A = this chain, B = another copy of it.
């Protein structure tokens, strides 16, 4: 079993590398035609996809998966229509490939042009949501990359049906099926082999929970982009507009608590705590948020539970908010440096110098002044797409759209130059 799994991954990686060479010089027209054909194919084959999905749901129900997990797994005509829309939207985005990023002439006459090219083969390891098969395939294809997809075992029938539809669409426009491949083996050995295919996989992106990402980071020898964990803070400065601060922390905590750009800790300057905390506390409690506060917070909000050291480190992804009163902006910055995950951090202030000090001093992917952390998102940033949010500093930071799935090459034109 495990040998077969490894063979499958190696065969598909070889095919992906060959397909990536074709894709690297494929024009925008054919890539867009493929994306539109993929949307078409999903429509034509929606019955097969839904039948396969029903098998997955039955299996998941039998194995006693949580209703939440089954919900994430479930496809419907509406969700298929959403995937189709997504494919058409990616087709409508500008092609990132071929852009000249910079260029210059050297004293010896060499003309150097830094040109955007695809990464090559992108591996994506994801969990149960089958729509990732389609979304990831679309973004990889548009950016000229071959995709090697490995989804969760609970969605395997759905993913196979989706990948079959996409593969047929690729062939219909004359592109190799291997531009988008699903690893069908659900053996762990297959995932492990994918993580160590140096020379074949140019970039591996894990999409899922913290344990999946940790496993990939620890096992992979190919370059990885770590995504995901967000222990985000909102700092309310002494010079904040209380109404604005309250609206922003409520939005950052409550609007969608399960995602990485939601806020987990509120830091409040001591000079504003006495007036601000009761105001925001009432609004948070009304919205069903459990507050875990330090001693000063609890003195002002008697219903708050005590915050332990662990709370400052926790990404709740739930309606819980840790609250701490700090002595200064510097203390807030230091707290964020100690406990944050360098994802998204916000200051609420009317003070110019405080805004500058916070944006300069906080190290994270996206630092906000007077706005919700919830905007860290490829669509909200205007990228038109998102493959994930990078939590590392190498290659890409924050929301990753099409450009973040590319690299560059230097084209150097000469007329006989040799090095002296």
Chain A: residues with CB nearer than 8 A to chain B?
21, 24-25, 104, 106, 110, 112, 117, 119-120, 198, 202-203, 217-218, 221, 223-226, 241, 244, 247-248, 250-252, 255, 337, 355, 359-361, 363-372, 374-376, 380-382, 392-395, 397-398, 407-419
Contacts and interface: CB of A to CB of B under 8 A. Distances in A.
A380 B251 CA distance: 51
A393 B202 contact: yes
Contacts of A250: 418
B394 A381 contact: no
A332 to B, nearest CB: 14
A412 B106 CA distance: 37
A393 B120 contact: yes
Given A104-B382, A360-B25, A410-B366, A251 B418 contact: yes
Nearest to A247: B418
Contact of A380 (B106, B117, B221): B106
A112 B381 contact: yes
A369 B407 contact: no
A132 B251 CA distance: 50
A241 B415 CA distance: 10
Interface centre among A119, A247, A337, A380 (most CB of B within 10 A): A380
A374 B104 CA distance: 18
A248 B418 contact: yes
29 contacts: A21-B337, A25-B361, A106-B380, A119-B394, A202-B394, A203-B394, A218-B221, A223-B223, A223-B393, A247-B418, A248-B416, A250-B418, A364-B409, A365-B409, A365-B410, A367-B410, A367-B411, A369-B411, A369-B412, A369-B414, A370-B415, A371-B414, A371-B417, A372-B417, A375-B419, A381-B410, A394-B407, A397-B408, A398-B410
B223 A198 contact: no
B366 A409 contact: yes
Given A21-B337, A374-B419, A380-B419, A414 B221 contact: no
A353 to B, nearest CB: 14
A225 B394 contact: yes
Contact of A110 (B375, B395, B413): B375
A313 B51 CA distance: 48
A381 B105 CA distance: 9
